[in-house]
Every structure is written in structure tokens, then in C-alpha cells.
Amino acid sequence: MTRFESSYKLPMFMALLFAALLAGDGVGRVFAAVAPGSAVAPGAVAAAATEPTVISSSPSNWATNVPTSTNTSDNVVTGTAVTATFSQPMDPATLNSSPGNLLTFTVRETNGNDVPGAVVMNAANTEATFTPTASALNPNASYTATVTTAAKNAAGIAMAHPITWGFTTNAIPLTGQTPVALGEAGIFAILTKSGITDVFPSAITGDVGASPITGAAIHLTCAEMVTGTIYSVNAAGPLPCRVTDPTLLTKAVANMQTAYTNAAGRTLPNFLNLGAGQIGGLTLVPGLYKWTTAVSISTNVTLSGGANDVWIFQIAGTLTQASATQMILQGGAQPKNIFWQASGAVAIGTTAHAEGVILAKTKIAMKTGASADGRLLAQTAVTLEQNAVTEPAH
């Protein structure tokens, strides 16, 4: 979600006045002067501080190549939602797109057709999300979103000016992605069903667990836990950092399997069999990638996108990262939003560095000195050899 400021230029006197106030501590924010009746873009505060306005939007104003649809964490495809974030809590009853009512939040294609949809507010009533009724917007089309002055804040004060912004969809049907829901599996840096082998010393930042295998199959030592807890199903796990919690582990493993199924079941891939499975040297934009083969990373690979962008990699085979290679993140991309779903074994080569959540149907093998910023979630075993595994920031 990107913030926009008004392009309206204040007269020189007013500009100097605001600059002087800002130089002191008298004003915490500049409010844009807008002619009566004008529509402004999100981020342009068009009235006194008591009047609400839209301070940001998604898609952002003038955005291009917007996905035509979105695949939710529940694996439901809908038309790409349009979101307006307000400067104050709003009255939900004044934000709607229901037939028969005064429409206060609308999305319209430039051909004049209104997009049918529904508006839902968040719990704080500061964010309104318009979700199209159809499963996708039209490709290569321009859209205009508008919030009218019928929208009021919780005190009943209406917006002083309508807020309007525009965006253009991708030229071909594309599906944006939401993160894969991990549930209780998301508290673990390493989670397996059949144990963890380890060549000392490794360094683990985050919790570790194994189930239904006995705690005796967890060969990490407490000295290797930088932070976090080792969870086991019985008292056989490593001491003194081991906690016995079979209930948590049973749920976490079930959630891990659900997450794997969710990632594997995402539809409408943006890229199919990219590079014939060889992705070393490529720069990968956010989206859904699908391979019907194994995937190999022979040289550095770059993932370039924003902090809220999502990458999901569906691999119908093994995932192999060559020794001394790097997964490089650019543009604010975050490991928590990167998901590698592999039906075959995963191998991260000697001194290689991986990024993201690995959802493996079988084994994850970290070779000597390899590291990962992410999570190793394996439905069989995880093998470590003097590795550093750091869970991503939430």
C-alpha cells in the first residue's frame, strides 16, 4: 500500500508559512489546499484536521501491471481488491457499494462500467476494502476508484472532497498472491515429522519441534539454540531447553501439512516452467511460479519486490541450490512472504544461503555451512551440518 501526496502547489506565501511552522514544532502535518469540488488522490488531506480523508490506497495511484485477481490464503480466487485507508475511524454504514443505496466507494472501468462488489471495513474502521463480485478484473484495463463525500467519520463528519485514484491491470490475466497461512507451524524455525540430525555446531534462532517422532530423534543441543525452545512429544528431547508439548506439536504438524496443500493448490500461475527449471541468474518478480519438473539454482537468484509482495514456488520435484550460491532479496522483499513448496527433497548446498519458508513433502538437507533466513518445515526429516537457521521477522 503506497502513500501519495497532493500535486497541488501552494502559493509562495502559504508555502513559506507552512515551512516556517514545520521548522518549529507548531505543525505536525501539512494539509493541502484544494479548490472546492475538486477530487484529489489518496494522501492529499483536503480540509481541516477534523474532516476525514483517504491517506493511502491499494492499488496505489497510477499503478500499472496490477494483477487481475488475487488468490487468498484460503486458496479462493477473487478479483483484485481495492483498499482505501482513512485518516480517522469511519462510520461503516456510510461506506458501501450496495444496490439501492448511495454508493460511497466505487470502482469503475474507464469504459464507464461500474464494477459490482462489496465493501468491508477492518476492525478499527480505518480501512475499507472493495472486493469485486467477479473472480477477476479485466486485463489491460484502466480503473478509477472513488470515495465520495457521503463517507463520514465516527462522529458524523463527512469528507470535504471526493478522493479518486486510478490504476491499470496487467495485459494478461494474472493472479496476485497472499501469504500462505502457517498456523501454529509459523512459530517454528524448524519443524519435522521424523526428526533432526545435526553436525555440531549449528545456530538456530527460533523454535524447533518434531512430531510424531520421539524427542530422542531431535539431535540438536541446547547450546545450539541462539534463541527459542526445543519442543518434543515426550521427555526424551534435549535438556535443559526442551519443553514437552505433544498437543502443540500435533496441531503444528497438521497446520504444516495444510500449508503445503494450500501452496501446492494455488491456481493461475504467473509463470509456468520458467527457465525449464533452471532459475540461477534470474531476477524473480512477485507471483505464483509453477514447475512440472525439478528446480535447480546453479548461480545466485534475485527476488525483487516490495515488503508486502508474495512469491510462491510450486515445484513438482526436487529443489537443489548449488554450493556457495545466494538467494538475494531486493526492494524490501521479506523472507516471511516467500514460499518454496517442493514435492521432492530439498538440498541447500555447502555455504549457500536460502531465503523463505520451505514447505517440503520429504527431506530438507542443509549442507555444511549453509544458512537460511526462513523456516524449514519438512514432512520427513531435516538434516543440519553446522548451519545457521534464522526465523523471519513476523
Is residue 325 within 8 Å of 308, Cβ to Cβ?
no
What nine digits make up the cell of 365? 538437507
Question: Looking at residue 20, what is its pLDDT?
Answer: 38
Question: Looking at residue 24, what is its pLDDT?
Answer: 37
Q: Please indicate, yes or no, whether residues 189 and 83 belong to a single structural domain of this protein.
A: no
Which position has the higher pLDDT, 20 or 205? 205
Q: Please indicate, yes or no, whether residues 142 and 244 belong to a single structural domain of this protein.
A: no
Q: Please indicate, yes or no, whether residues 107 and 213 belong to a single structural domain of this protein.
A: no
Q: Please indicate, yes or no, whether residues 314 and 361 belong to a single structural domain of this protein.
A: yes
Q: Please indicate, yes or no, whether residues 258 and 173 belong to a single structural domain of this protein.
A: no
Full residue range of the structural domain in which residue 104 is found: 2-177
Q: Please indicate, yes or no, whether residues 124 and 241 belong to a single structural domain of this protein.
A: no
Tens of pLDDT, residues 289-305: 999 999 999 999 999 99
* Mean pLDDT lowest among 14-23, 108-117, 216-225, 379-388: 14-23
- The mean of the pLDDT values for the chain is 88
Q: Please indicate, yes or no, whether residues 200 and 340 belong to a single structural domain of this protein.
A: yes
Contacts of residue 196, defined as CB under 8 A and 6 or more positions apart, other chains included, come to 190, 208, 210, 217, 218, 219, 220, 381, 382, 383, 384
Cα–Cα distance between 334 and 373 in angstroms, integer? 9
Kindly state the average pLDDT of the residues 262-286: 94
Split into its structural domains, the chain has a count of: 2
Q: Please indicate, yes or no, whether residues 211 and 158 belong to a single structural domain of this protein.
A: no
What CATH number did the domain enclosing 122 receive?
Answer: 2.60.40.1220
Q: Please indicate, yes or no, whether residues 194 and 125 belong to a single structural domain of this protein.
A: no
Work out the pLDDT band at 206, boundaries 50, 70, 90.
very high
Q: Please indicate, yes or no, whether residues 152 and 187 belong to a single structural domain of this protein.
A: no
Single out the residue in 162, 177, 192 at which a domain terminates. 177
Question: Looking at residue 219, what is its pLDDT?
Answer: 97
Q: Is the confidence at residue 8, as pLDDT, over 90?
A: no
Single out the residue in 146, 177, 208 at which a domain terminates. 177
Tens of pLDDT, residues 97-129: 554 456 799 999 988 899 999 999 999 999 999
Is residue 263 within 8 Å of 341, Cβ to Cβ?
yes
Q: Please indicate, yes or no, whether residues 326 and 189 belong to a single structural domain of this protein.
A: yes
